[in-house]
Chain A
Amino acid sequence: MIPEILSFGDKGFGDELLRGTQYTLVIAASAYLIGICLGLLGSAGKLYGGAFARGTAAVYTTIVRSVPEVVLILILYFAGTRGTNTLLGYFGLGPIEVNGTLAAIAVLGVVQGAYHTEVFRAAIQAVPAGQVEAGKAFGMRGLQIFRRIIGPAMLPNAIPGLSNLWLIVIKDTALVAVVGNYELLSTTASAAAFTKRYMLFFLTTALIYLLITLISNYFISKLESRYRRGQTKLA
């Protein structure tokens, strides 16, 4: 059923595509986690920060969300490479070849962070002020309030946005192919160019991305119903 060219082993590209899929998933998941961290920081800066933190967060989200991801990926990719090497130069270390996968993770993480910032900001703002005040009345401090009240209360609000961003980051990993890497689309492109079977390879890859998305959707709906339990259903 499966054509030989997609089989595993020396004759087919099956194992190469599988490895590409692994890279894609690793890049997506790591970038997503970095994005969540940056997003929490950014939303905290936007909501509770001083003028400097608020300004920085605003510039960060505005720039990242209005410049195309491909352009950002190139800028951050080269800036990151040169920055790292300049930094190493100060310590008297020679230039290193920046690991493509790590660079991709860092770049996509920074891009994701801007979108996460907005998701968390909106979710936190939707938490009723009375609940936070109740926490204060109990004598909780800032971080305690965040951990015990704002965090759990905003999570159901944030989950639709967070799941959207997960689907977006999977598709954004494909953009890394522009700078060349080992992820799924780059692997596909070189396999297709090598064998001249463009249609076959790109269709297979589209199918793999679609499967990842569909499987993610399944778990997202599970997660959503779990975190929405106990809440009144919307009409």
Chain B
Amino acid sequence: MNWTWFPEYLPLLFQGVWLTIQLLVLSMVFGLTLAVPVGLVQVTGPKWLARIARGYCTLMRGTPLLVQLWLLYFGLGSVFAAFPEVRQSIFWPILREGYFYAILAFTLNEGGYGGEIMRGAFLSVPKGELEAARAYGMSPWKVLHRVWLPRAVRNVLPTLASETVLMLKATPLAATVTVLDIFGVILRVRQNTYITYEPLITAAIIYMALTFLITRAFNYVEGLVPSRR
């Protein structure tokens, strides 16, 4: 066991953990925000919109996330770089960063997986509750944000918990597009010191700890909103 590298890289590792958390939280928040309409139009939307949402889910769930990420980073990135207008625009410092493409790819991906979950969630809310809400004279929008959405989200909280863990486990892919998240730092340690196992095992332990925290956090939230079955 060789841990001589550890003190030197500890600050970088902390930054890596922080970046991983950023990636996770931002892509989950954006992704689930995208997932709500994607799920909703499949349940109540017009047929053509439902079909588009359906196709979107299939596309996102049918191709590897790494391909999506590389398609955006290398593919879209090279298209952007070909246009001087884009390169000189104020957005270029963002459009140059792997960080941006990682969050974009994770968000779009989560929109697909989450959309499928939200579709089931919206269907799982008893019809009577929606009818009761309408009987009170709530507008469709009010029904959605007062009754339908909260009930749907509560029903799929356990699924969202495992979805979040899956997203955490997807974040190291960002390291392949130069993001210095936990895995990125570990890869750099490996590159600089030629030590392989200890850094990788450190990464494994950090990810396990984060998984544990996510599970605990969701259990806590589930406890806050008791559900009677």
Contacts and interface: CB of A to CB of B under 8 A. Distances in A.
B165 A79 contact: no
A70 B208 contact: no
A210 B68 CA distance: 12
B197 A63 contact: no
Contact of A177 (B62, B66, B169): B66
A203 interface: yes
Contacts of B171: 68
Nearest to A81: B196
How would you classify the secondary structure of chain B's contact residues: helix, strand, loop or mixed?
A: helix
B74 A205 contact: no
Contact of B204 (A72, A177, A206): A72
Given A79-B197, A174-B66, A202 B172 contact: no
Interface string B11-28: 000000000000000000
Interface string B131-162: 00000000000000000000000000000000
Q: Which of A63, A66, A198, A206 has the most CB of B within 10 A?
A: A66
Contact of A210 (B62, B76, B173, B176): B62
A67 B204 contact: yes
A214 B204 contact: no
A63 B67 contact: no
A213 interface: yes
A190 to B, nearest CB: 12
Interface string A163-187: 0000100111111011000000100
A174 B204 contact: no
Given A70-B172, A199-B78, A175 B201 contact: no
B170 A68 contact: yes
A167 B95 CA distance: 32
A75 interface: yes
Contacts of A192: 74
A188 to B, nearest CB: 8
Interface in A53-99: 63, 66-72, 74-75, 78-79
B200 interface: yes
Interface residues of A, number: 36
Nearest to B65: A171
B71 A185 contact: no
B33 interface: no
Contacts of B204: 63, 67, 71-72, 75
Contacts of B79: 199
B197 A189 contact: no
Interface string A7-38: 00000000000000000000000000000000
Contacts of B76: 199
A126 B62 CA distance: 29
Q: Which of A69, A71, A177, A189 has the most CB of B within 10 A?
A: A71
Contacts of B173: 70, 175
Given A68-B169, A192-B74, A199-B71, A75 B197 contact: yes
B203 interface: yes
B208 A206 contact: no
Interface string A199-222: 100110110011001100000000
Nearest to A206: B63
Given A171-B64, A171-B65, A71 B172 contact: yes
A188 B170 CA distance: 21
A32 B219 CA distance: 32
A59 B64 CA distance: 28
B6 interface: no
Contacts of A228: none
A181 B229 CA distance: 49
B44 to A, nearest CB: 21
A67 B169 contact: yes
Contacts of A198: 70-71, 74-75, 77-78
Given A66-B208, A71-B172, A175-B66, 4 more contacts: A66-B211, A68-B183, A199-B71, A213-B61
13 contacts: A68-B170, A70-B183, A75-B197, A171-B64, A198-B75, A199-B71, A199-B75, A202-B71, A203-B75, A209-B63, A210-B58, A210-B62, A210-B63
Which 6 pairs, one residue from A and one from B, show the smallest C-beta to C-beta distance?
A: A174-B64, A213-B62, A199-B75, A202-B71, A66-B211, A198-B74
